[in-house]
Structures are given as structure tokens and as C-alpha cells.
A and B are shown apart, each in its own frame.
Chain A
């Protein structure tokens, strides 16, 4: 079809693609550029699209005032909960994938856990945490995010494990390996790519989570999304801090995601699309 117009067609599509991508990236550009502006430039009317000079004072303030603690808290909570969820989740996934443990019931129950709206269980969890003394502790958030991520990890890892041929495990068994050794020495290395991809999304979930971080923390383990909302005051909004803090929180995710390109579609579609 339309062989003659191929050049024009391509050029048009290119312009459209450029325009659409620009529109979608512009909000992030704007946030980034605010973080480099001076207060005068932030509150200039009409708004300034490119600052006179790139300066890092807004970031320096976050470090000086100790606001970056929130990034550290997010890092601790996300990393630890991801590691635990990956370990326990992959074990569970192996059992389900290879032994059909629990049948359809277990799988259905696991996936249904992911569909419950967080706010529906927020209040009972809050009361449970008050009783346990887990409010505003690393432990509390880590257990919570581990539990939230487990169904996802199990679901995804089940898919990745089913992708590897069972013969390898069988020959390891013939060689006299124990089940646990087969899992550690055969299954884990074979699914490394899938584990890494799944871990990235688990990490992102914990990193971006807001409602529970808001409800279950006070001041000592505030995570970065909650910290950003603190800058929206009743009568003043700290633009410089909002933008600089958001950038600090988004950059690590953006970098990891850029590396993970080929796993993204499978990761965000709950494995429905094998990318």
C-alpha cells in the first residue's frame, strides 16, 4: 500500500511521535527544571522555561535539613521487603509451578489478594499495628510491603519457572541432589533474569506506595512520597523542596527501568504479555 508516500508517511509519523513524546515528558521536565531554579525564577510571572544557570542549592537544602532521611528510609524499607518477598515468593512459586501445591484454590486466593483496595484493609491493619507497636517502625512497613508484594512475586515467578525445562531438575535429582539443592542450584540460576525483573517491580511498588506509608508512619520512618506531601502546607507550598525531593526519588527508578527495558511489558501486565 501507498508505496509512493512512504517517505512522507514516515516523516508525518515521526513528527507525531515526537510531539506526543514531548507532551508526555514535559511534566517531568518541568519538575526537574524547577529543582534547578532560584526562588526568584520559581516564582517568576510568566513562568520561566529555562533557568539562567543550573544550580543545586535546592538539593543542598534537602541534605542540610536532613530531609534526605526520607530517601534513606524508602531505600531500607523497599530493599529489605523486596529481598524477603523475592526469596519467600520464589520458593512458593516453585512449589506451585512444579507440584501444583494448593491447586487452583491457592492461586486464586493469592491473586485475589492483589485486587483488594488498600483502603479497605487500612484501618484494621492500623489497629493491628498499634497493638503490636509497629507504627512508625521499619519492621511494620517491611512486613506490610512484603505481604503486598508476595502475590505478585509468586504469580510472576511461577510464569518464569514454567518457562524453564523440567529435564534439568530431573537430571539433578538423578544425580542425587536434594529437592532444596535442586531449587538453589538449578532453578534459581535459571530464573535469574526473571527474578531480577520481578524484583525491580517489587521495589518500585514499595518505593512508590503512599497510603500505608501515610497511615503507618509518623516521623522516624517517613518514606519519600509522604515527605513530598509534607511540603504542601496550608498556606505555603515549598516548590523547591517538592521538585528536588521528587527528583531524588524518581531518578533511581528511572535509571533501573532504563536498564530493564525488555522486561517492562511483562512486569506491568502481571505476566499476561510475554515480552
Chain B
């Protein structure tokens, strides 16, 4: 750091009142300003991380406070834990299906609402609501909707098929994934929609019209003009959603609690069970680190692929 330097976002060489005012109090001012915030984040962020790193190499369980050093034993145990790998697989299923579904539906909706439409403001305002609903409430809400007898989902399916439908959405292993995915896609498609609508509105209209006059097809206009323009926003939206989906917990908790059995148990749910039901302290800490490590690697790869890493 070279003393006090203003970050104006514009030119650098301004005649700097900003710099000349730099007395020693001023120089310390910037550190006073960040101190309280950094302290709180360190308390909640750093302590748990250090603690988890240490305990992940010990042998603490509900039965014993074994603090002797075991090296990577817990990590090894986790690698051999089929329930962990299954929970990872379940999580990936949710990511791989929900993410493209939300993206494609959101994009189609954004196109639908892009041009002038009477009452557009009202529609968009209403579509925001799922996004700001508490995920656990969204899950609870869908549990009532999916109720096999008193919920409207089976009722509407009954109207369509013409015969009574009695699907046990949150219990029947054949339908639990669909149920969770519907709730998930319902809540977050509007998120994609809002971001993509904003991005699409910023695409250069004249460029598109010129291409249209030249007789370019919709697909080629989309590929050559629209996609590059909305790419940065789309990348951020996908990244945010991918990270959220990876820690999926609330909706699953409300709908199935990971059941039937452990059919829909996600990594987050397994970590909860391991830590707060079975009190496998050390194993839980190891799991936390494996998850953080995998996320870090994935994020780095995604950022590199998407070329938004500045």
C-alpha cells in the first residue's frame, strides 16, 4: 500500500486534496473503519474453521473426548462412508437437474416479459414473491400442496387424468425427488428470470434489429449477439444458484427430512445428522473440510471456465 490513495474509479492523477490531507490520524482512519467488521467476521468465521481443522484430526465422539492426534484417519473413514457418497450424489442430482431447469425456464420467461406488455410491472412484482419467501416456509407450503388427500396437487392431477390420484409425494421413493425439485424450481426460477430480464433489457436493440434485417435467424442472433451480452450476468446467476443448491437443506428438511430412509439426504442434511444427532464431532469436522475443499475447487474451475475471474 502506498499511503492514502483514493479509488475513484476514474482517472488516477487527480490533484489530490485527498492525499494532502493525509495526516497520521487520517492514515489510521481507514483501519479504524474496517476493524469492528473484520473482528466480528473473524470471531464467527475464523474460530470455527481453526477449531474444525483441529478436531477433524482428533477422535471426539459422543462417547469419548479423545483429543489425541489421529492425522487423516477421519478423512479416510469419511472416504469409506457410503452414506456420505450417497448424500453427495443426491446433492449433485438436485444441482444437475434444478440448475438447468431454472436457467431455461427463467430465460424463456425473461423473453416473454421482455417486450412491452400491459401490466408487466404487476406480473414482475408478483413473480418476485417466491424468491423472498423463507425456503423453509416454501418447503412447508409445498408439503401442504403435495398432501395426498387435502392438497390440491393430486386434485388437479385427478381432473387431468379423470380418475382419483393418490400419490404420496413426500413418502413414495418414486416421487420424492420430483416433489423436492418442483418446490426448488418454483422458488428459484423467478430469481433467474429477474436477473436475465434485467440482462436482456440491456442488450443493444439496434444491433439485433440490424441482424434481423440481414435475415439472421433467431438462434443465430441469440448465439452471436444476445448470449455474449447476457453472459456475465448469467454466469453470476448460475454461480449463485449452484452454490445455494450445493448446500440444499431447508426445502428437503421441510418436505422429506431426507427420507424415505436416506433417499433424499443431501450433504448438508448428512452433516446435520452426523453432528447433531450422532454427535460424531471429529467426523463432522472432517466432512466440513471436505465440503469446503470441493467447493473451492469447483468455484475455481467454474470461474475459469466462465472467464469472469478478474
Contact = CB atoms under 8 A, between A and B. Distances in A.
B194 A268 contact: yes
A225 B136 contact: yes
Contact of A258 (B125, B197, B268, B272): B125
Given A232-B140, A257-B128, A272-B233, A92 B18 contact: no
Interface stretch (A52-60, A65-73, A147-155, A190-198): A147-155
B112 interface: yes
A120 B129 contact: no
A45 B41 contact: no
A103 B287 CA distance: 32
A139 interface: no
Shortest Cβ-Cβ A-B pairs, 7 listed: A124-B48, A147-B44, A208-B134, A117-B247, A95-B33, A120-B288, A92-B37
Contacts of A45: 149-150
11 contacts: A47-B155, A95-B34, A113-B41, A118-B268, A122-B271, A122-B275, A126-B276, A127-B51, A229-B254, A254-B129, A254-B132
Contacts of A110: 41
Given A99-B7, A116-B292, A119-B272, A249 B37 contact: no
Given A25-B129, A128-B47, A120 B6 contact: no
Interface stretch (B77-85, B95-103, B235-243): B235-243
A24 B144 CA distance: 16
Given A13-B115, A125-B44, 7 more contacts: A46-B155, A95-B29, A173-B18, A183-B33, A228-B140, A264-B128, A264-B194
A273 B37 contact: no
Interface string A30-45: 1100100000001111
A121 B140 contact: no
B34 A102 contact: yes
Contacts of A265: 194-195, 197-198
A269 interface: yes
A160 interface: no
Interface in B108-155: 109, 112-113, 115, 117-118, 120-121, 123-138, 140-145, 149-152, 155
A5 to B, nearest CB: 13
A30 B135 contact: no
Contacts of A146: 40
A127 B275 CA distance: 11
B43 interface: yes
A117 B112 contact: no
A162 B125 CA distance: 28
Contacts of A28: 129-130, 133, 141
A47 B152 contact: yes
A225 B112 contact: no
Interface of A: 1, 10, 13-14, 16-18, 20-21, 24-25, 27-28, 30-31, 34, 42-47, 49, 88-89, 91-92, 94-103, 106, 110, 113, 115-128, 143-144, 146-148, 150-151, 154, 162, 166, 169-171, 173-174, 179-180, 183, 204, 207-208, 210-211, 215, 225, 228-229, 232, 239, 242-243, 246, 249-250, 253-254, 257-258, 261, 264-265, 268-270, 272-273, 275
B36 interface: yes
Contact of B44 (A31, A47, A127, A148): A148
Interface of B: 1, 4-9, 17-18, 21, 25-26, 29-31, 33-34, 36-38, 40-41, 43-45, 47-49, 51-52, 55, 109, 112-113, 115, 117-118, 120-121, 123-138, 140-145, 149-152, 155, 158, 186, 189-191, 194-195, 197-199, 212, 232-233, 236-237, 240, 243, 246-247, 249-250, 253-254, 267-268, 271-272, 275-276, 281, 284-285, 287-289, 291-292, 295, 299
Contacts of A98: 6-7, 30
Contacts of B243: 115
B246 to A, nearest CB: 7
Nearest to B17: A170
B188 to A, nearest CB: 10
Contacts of A242: 140, 144
A2 to B, nearest CB: 11
Given A30-B152, A115-B243, A179-B26, A257 B132 contact: yes
B169 to A, nearest CB: 13
Given A92-B38, A115-B295, A210 B144 contact: no
Contacts of B43: 143, 147
A91 B33 contact: yes
A211 B249 contact: yes
Contacts of A228: 136-137, 140
Contact of A211 (B4, B149, B250, B287): B250
